[in-house]
Chain A
Amino acid sequence: MEVILTPKDTPDIPIEAEVINPDIFANKSKEEIESLLVWQGPNTYPISEFFDVEISPNNPKDVTIIIEGDVERVKYIGSKMSSGKIIINGNVGIQLGSEMKGGEIVVNGNAKHWVGREMEGGIIKINGNAGDYVGSAYRGSWHGMKGGKIIIEGDAGNNVGAAITGGEIIIKGNVKQFCGIRQNGGFIYIGGNAERAVGVEMTKGTIVVCGRIRFFAPGFEFDGIEKDLNINDITIYGEYLKFIGDYAISRKPKGVLYALKEKNLGLIEPELYECYDDYKYDGGIKALLNTGSTIVQGEIIKGGEKFTERYVKECAVCYIHPNDYEYLGKPEYVNVISEDKKASITLRAIPDSSLQEGTVFIPRSIWANVVILSYTESMGSPLYKGCYVYVEPVKGKADILTAEEIMKKIYG
């Protein structure tokens, strides 16, 4: 049986469609499939509200569902499926194949977050990029993927393979932060670069990184060089530095992390370590922004005094490491520009030696809000610590906007 689903309009509110599952479609007529219910907000609607359903004359052995088009706002496709096949010719929303037990999902497009979250078996193949939390554990759980296989042809986001205890994750491109955090079994292969703290808190399992590792976790011990690895019947050619860890979490960890020797010599020879890309450029720095409450700021906002001069004085400021401050030409004011370069704000510059070079601090306030993007990593709050901004000096005097002026500028 082969069923073709063609999405109608893009839904304004995302729909939750765990019924798009070969186990559930099996042996059902066109009308029965059309009347399966999906959730949208607090209501349920028949699937025919969002998809045209067609039973194709092809009759493959396994139940096959083909989705022809973008379903970026459809969640939980293939969730908990145990057999059959889903092919998506377009981009797909979050929780694809979460808790999947068997069968196969192929996406000819990009996938959002939580691909194969806590999956136990089967295969997921994404022929584009994936978002955060590929194969990872859900909130409050220590156990991620247990079995099966996920293959991502492109890049993936943060927290890939968090807390996995088995199975295989193959990412052919780059991953961002905390790949393999709390890993306790299984195998993760990264064809490209791993951004920060790869394998941190791992106790078992294997990670192979064929690109460059930046910001390596400190709890790993070098254990020699190995050539041409063979893991799960896959041969990975090249010379690899072998590390055991993470000693920060366990006395006798069994986690193994291989890093391609030619790109990661700095991990064993510190003088070759290139920790940062050059963050300074002609006319400014690309800095890591941390924000946070200051005590005075807390006193002001909790007392409801956001429209006072005191609030501007305390919060419309950017603390910069003295070396970076000197590089910027010791300006009285700086322009802080968001990572996507769509928003900027002028602040008073203050040198502060308690910061690390390459980082800046802005008190958490309306001024910081202007340059922080809406990306939340599936949490309730944007990245108030650890997003990037561009900091450029202002020549001479500058006007600092008050909280009221910022609101009027943005909301009219």
Chain B
Amino acid sequence: MAMKVFRGITCPVCGMACDDIEVWYDEEKQEIIVKNVCREGAPKFKEIVSPHRIREPMIKKNGKFVKVSWEEAINKAAEILANAKRPLLFMGAETSAEAHIVGMHMAEYLGGVVDSNSTI
């Protein structure tokens, strides 16, 4: 299968936000090639296919992580957040603006607190 090419991708790593990145993705072989990206940005894109990345939702049952459906995992996460006394949504760094917007809507709905690495 030929590689899919994604052009004009914005790098999520640092504040420079380079937006001319090319990502070549082979879904079958689980391979990624990146172009126009620096030494710090490249590994971030390659992490998408890295073997240590957790790709399925898991819930700890009887002290052990068990693979579950997305439906079950999302319900569980919603239950934890809805019952929290002080929900904190720590949105981290290297996250897209679109994901931040979703996080903020969730925090507003829950009456929670939003924070990220870049708070000043």
Contacts and interface: CB of A to CB of B under 8 A. Distances in A.
A379 interface: yes
B85 A380 contact: no
A303 B111 contact: no
A298 interface: yes
Interface of B is mostly: loop
Contact of B111 (A43, A298, A379): A43
Contacts of B50: 303-304
Contact of A303 (B43, B85, B86, B117): B43
B13 A298 contact: yes
A396 interface: no
Interface string B104-120: 00000011100111111
A304 B48 CA distance: 11
B52 interface: yes
Interface string B16-60: 000000000000000000000001111110110010110000000
B103 interface: no
Interface residues of A, number: 20
B120 A303 contact: no
A302 B111 CA distance: 32
A42 B112 contact: yes
B43 A302 contact: yes
Contact of A379 (B42, B112, B120): B120
A381 interface: yes
Contacts of A296: 39
B87 to A, nearest CB: 7
Contacts of B39: 295-296, 298-299
Nearest to A44: B111
Given A298-B40, A303-B46, A42 B52 contact: no
A13 B111 CA distance: 14
Interface extent on B, as a size class? Answer: 20 to 34
A380 B117 contact: yes
B44 A42 contact: no
A304 B51 CA distance: 10
B112 A303 contact: no
A42 B40 contact: no
A298 B13 CA distance: 9
A42 B111 contact: yes
B47 A380 contact: no
Contacts of B42: 299
A300 B50 CA distance: 13
Contacts of A305: 43
A96 B119 CA distance: 23
Nearest to B111: A42
A38 B118 CA distance: 30
Nearest to B94: A302
A80 to B, nearest CB: 21
A303 B87 CA distance: 30
Contacts of B87: 41-42
Interface in A372-412: 379-381
Contact of A380 (B43, B86, B112, B118): B118
Interface in A4-39: 12-13
Contacts of B85: 12-13, 40-41, 43
Contacts of A300: 43
A139 interface: yes
Contact of B40 (A41, A302, A379): A302
Contact of A41 (B111, B119, B120): B111
Which of B40, B86, B87, B118 has its CB near the most chain A CB atoms (within 10 A)?
A: B40
B119 A381 contact: yes
A42 B13 contact: no
A13 B52 contact: no
A298 B116 CA distance: 18
Given A299-B43, A303-B46, A303-B50, A41 B86 contact: yes
Nearest to A378: B119
A295 B111 contact: no
A380 B111 contact: no
Contacts of B120: 139, 379-380
A41 B46 CA distance: 39
Interface string A35-70: 000001111000000000000000000000000000
A305 B53 CA distance: 12
A42 B83 CA distance: 10
17 contacts: A41-B86, A41-B87, A42-B86, A42-B87, A42-B111, A43-B85, A296-B39, A298-B13, A299-B39, A299-B40, A302-B13, A303-B46, A303-B50, A379-B119, A380-B115, A380-B118, A380-B120
Interface of B: 13, 39-44, 46-47, 50, 52-53, 84-87, 94, 110-112, 115-120
Interface of A: 12-13, 40-43, 139, 293, 295-296, 298-300, 302-305, 379-381
> Which 3 pairs across A and B sit closest by C-beta, in order of nearness?
A42-B111, A380-B119, A303-B43
